[in-house]
Amino acid sequence: MKTFLVVALLLCIPLLVVSQRQTQRKIFPYSYSIDDLPNGLRLVTVPTDQKNLVALYIVVSTGSRNEIEQGRSGYAHLFEHLMFRGSEHYTPEERDQILKRAGASDNAYTTDDRTVFHEVFSKEDLDSVMRLEADRFQHLKYDQSAYKTETLAVLGEFNKNSSNPFEKLFEVLRETAFKKHTYSHTTMGFLRDVEDMPNQYDYSLQFFNRYYRPEYVTITIVGDVTRQQALDLTKKYFGDWQRGNYVPDIPVEPAQSESRTAHVDWPSPTLPLVAVAFHGPAYSDEQIDKAALDLLAPIAFGENSDLYQRLVLREQKVDFVSPSFDDRMNPELFTVFARVKKPEDVDYVRDQILETFKRFSTELITQKKLDETRSRLRYSTALSLNSNEAIADNLAPYIALRRTPETINKLFDLYDRVTPEDIRAMAQKYFREQSRTIVTLNYKPATGGQTQQ
């Protein structure tokens, strides 16, 4: 008995120390302020001690999820591009010159739920960059010709991605698993819709009018800045922005009633790919469902999982296996992707993944593994907050979801409350055969195409 206790203490103490140290501080360690303007625009300011640089992230809570009309996939992303095509007071060339003189790194990206415009630059240029940004958000101006040219750049982006078979696998997975909800298309959109974009100038104006409104936008400023500075500039340049009134009617995905499969024939040599997905929950910092499955994902399918160690390290049948389960506004797929070394092993690998889903629906994970995973999530977050830009970049998804950094702290409080029983219960709830979709991809020369069942 005594020996057992000693061993137990030896095993547990280091974890307790970690856990105590980690829980004493909030996972998002920076002080921040939130200011709401009467027009619905929100400002989040995060002063840091990294001198000189400022990261400005303008987060629009609009993404490919908002593309509700048939034939209009890809417009949130197209709009990200159009925002660089000039505004009332600045031509694109003038805009480039101002940002160039600021030494800025500037770009933008789009996902299912958000479009993020971001710049990092020297603090003395904050005023001029805010003025510039305010102009394009309120007074974007692009003509038919610029519009059509930009649609070609979007097609160029599609083309550059197209040599990667994973892009196709992902597209078919989405289309197969979602029948109503807009997550059925990728952010890039269907090729047919991208090719039709040049003809849809008027629709693009409508898209801007709907979504580039203050109630959809949160300005996030991180770095060598004070709250007052940030607020004064926001009021000065964004204060007159008119609130909109459009609320999209995002279709609800009906419960899947039977399992689905699809297969992609890929026209050039590649290794086979497998995706196994189940409909999971949406992001929440209050309900335990998503948090429980977040913790399960690395335990069941991560680099340290039994599955990974068997398939990748010991049997060496796959060279990649990984879970993907992003935080989304609406219910998202919990997916496991794998790349298989030999075509004849695809069924085996698929079955091993399925077995693993089943295993965690019945087995309880150990408290030790759960504590280690919580520790991993905490340290992983701490390690990622290593510059003003990185802090803003990490905040952006949460800002799009809940418009406050506090949601990260709430999420990690949830993680601390999750028990092994919760995880098993959520696995039982979500990993059910009728809500499953499996997609495979394999090399098939000559006439390529995709078949679905």
Partner 1 sequence: MKTATVAFLMFALSLSGIAQTSRRTRTPAARGTRQAIQMVLQPSQSPLVSFRILFNTGSASDPQGKEGVAALTAAMLAQGGSRALTYDQIVTAMYPMATSFDSQIDKEMTVFSGTTHMDNLSNYYQLIQQMLLDPGFREDDFTRLKTDAINFLKVNLRENNDEELGKEELYNMIYANHPYGHQNVGRLSTLDALTLDDVREFYRNNYTQANLVVGLAGNYPANFPQKIRADFMKLPAGKANSVKILQPKLEPGMHIEIVERETRSTAISLGFPISVTRRDPDWPALAIVASYFGEHRSSNSYLYQRLREARGLNYGDYSYIEYFPRGMFQFQPDPNLGRQQQIFQIWIRPVPPNQGMFALRAALYEYNKLVRDGMSQEAFEVTQQYLMKHVNILTQTQDATLGYALDSRYYGIPNFNDYMRQRLSRLTLADVNRAIRKYLKSDDMRIVLITRDGETLRNAIVNNTSSPITYNAPKPQAILDEDKIIQDYRINVRPENVKVVAVDQVFQ
With binding defined as CB under 8 A, does residue 405 bind partner 1?
no
- Calpha distance 429→431 (Å, rounded): 6
Q: Which of residues 66-95 bind partner 1 (CB under 8 A)?
A: 77, 80, 84, 92-93
Q: Which of residues 431-450 bind partner 1 (CB under 8 A)?
A: none
Secondary structure of residue 161 in the 3-state scheme: helix
Shortest separation between residue 284's beta carbon and partner 1, angstroms:
18
C-alpha distances out from residue 347 to 305, 338, 342, 394, Å: 20, 12, 11, 37
- Mask of contacts with partner 1, 30-59, x by CB under 8 A? --------------------x-xx------
DSSP bridge pairs for 440: 263, 274
With binding defined as CB under 8 A, does residue 149 bind partner 1?
yes
Total residues binding partner 1 (CB under 8 A): 92
Q: Which of residues 225-254 bind partner 1 (CB under 8 A)?
A: none
With binding defined as CB under 8 A, does residue 312 bind partner 1?
yes
With binding defined as CB under 8 A, does residue 156 bind partner 1?
yes
Q: Are 300 and 374 contacting, i.e. CB atoms less than 8 angstroms apart?
A: no
Q: Which of residues 259-278 bind partner 1 (CB under 8 A)?
A: 267-271
| Residue number with CB closer to partner 1 (239 or 267) | 267
DSSP 210-246: HHSSGGGEEEEEEES--HHHHHHHHHHHHTTPPP---
Shortest separation between residue 237's beta carbon and partner 1, angstroms:
22
Shortest separation between residue 310's beta carbon and partner 1, angstroms:
10
With binding defined as CB under 8 A, does residue 362 bind partner 1?
no
DSSP bridge pairs for 44: 34, 220
Judged by CB under 8 A, the residue of 44, 60, 102, 336 near partner 1 is: 102
Which range touches partner 1 (CB under 8 A), out of 186-194, 227-235, 282-290, 406-414? 186-194
Q: Which of residues 315-354 bind partner 1 (CB under 8 A)?
A: 316, 319-320, 322, 324, 326, 337, 339, 341
| Residue number with CB closer to partner 1 (107 or 228) | 107
Q: Are 140 and 87 contacting, i.e. CB atoms less than 8 angstroms apart?
A: yes
Shortest separation between residue 170's beta carbon and partner 1, angstroms:
6
Q: Are 187 and 113 contacting, i.e. CB atoms less than 8 angstroms apart?
A: no
Shortest separation between residue 118's beta carbon and partner 1, angstroms:
10
Judged by CB under 8 A, the residue of 130, 219, 377, 414 near partner 1 is: 377
| Residue number with CB closer to partner 1 (215 or 372) | 372
Which range touches partner 1 (CB under 8 A), out of 106-114, 128-136, 276-284, 399-407? 106-114
Nearest to 442 by CA among 318, 322, 339: 339
With binding defined as CB under 8 A, does residue 386 bind partner 1?
yes
With binding defined as CB under 8 A, does residue 389 bind partner 1?
yes
- Burial (CB count <10 Å: 0-12, 13-18, 19+), residue 95: buried
Q: Are 238 and 214 contacting, i.e. CB atoms less than 8 angstroms apart?
A: yes
| Residue number with CB closer to partner 1 (41 or 294) | 294
Q: Are 196 and 155 contacting, i.e. CB atoms less than 8 angstroms apart?
A: no
Judged by CB under 8 A, the residue of 303, 351, 363, 433 near partner 1 is: 303
List % helix, strand, coil for the chain (3-state, nearest 5): 50, 20, 30
C-alpha distances out from residue 120 to 54, 57, 117, 230, Å: 6, 9, 11, 15
With binding defined as CB under 8 A, does residue 195 bind partner 1?
no
Shortest separation between residue 378's beta carbon and partner 1, angstroms:
8
DSSP bridge pairs for 56: 119, 221
Q: Which of residues 108-137 bind partner 1 (CB under 8 A)?
A: 109-112, 120-122
C-alpha distances out from residue 159 to 164, 272, 277, 428, Å: 10, 21, 26, 40
Handedness of CA 198, 200, 205, 211 (dihedral sign): negative
Secondary structure of residue 149 in the 3-state scheme: helix
| Residue number with CB closer to partner 1 (241 or 266) | 266
With binding defined as CB under 8 A, does residue 256 bind partner 1?
no
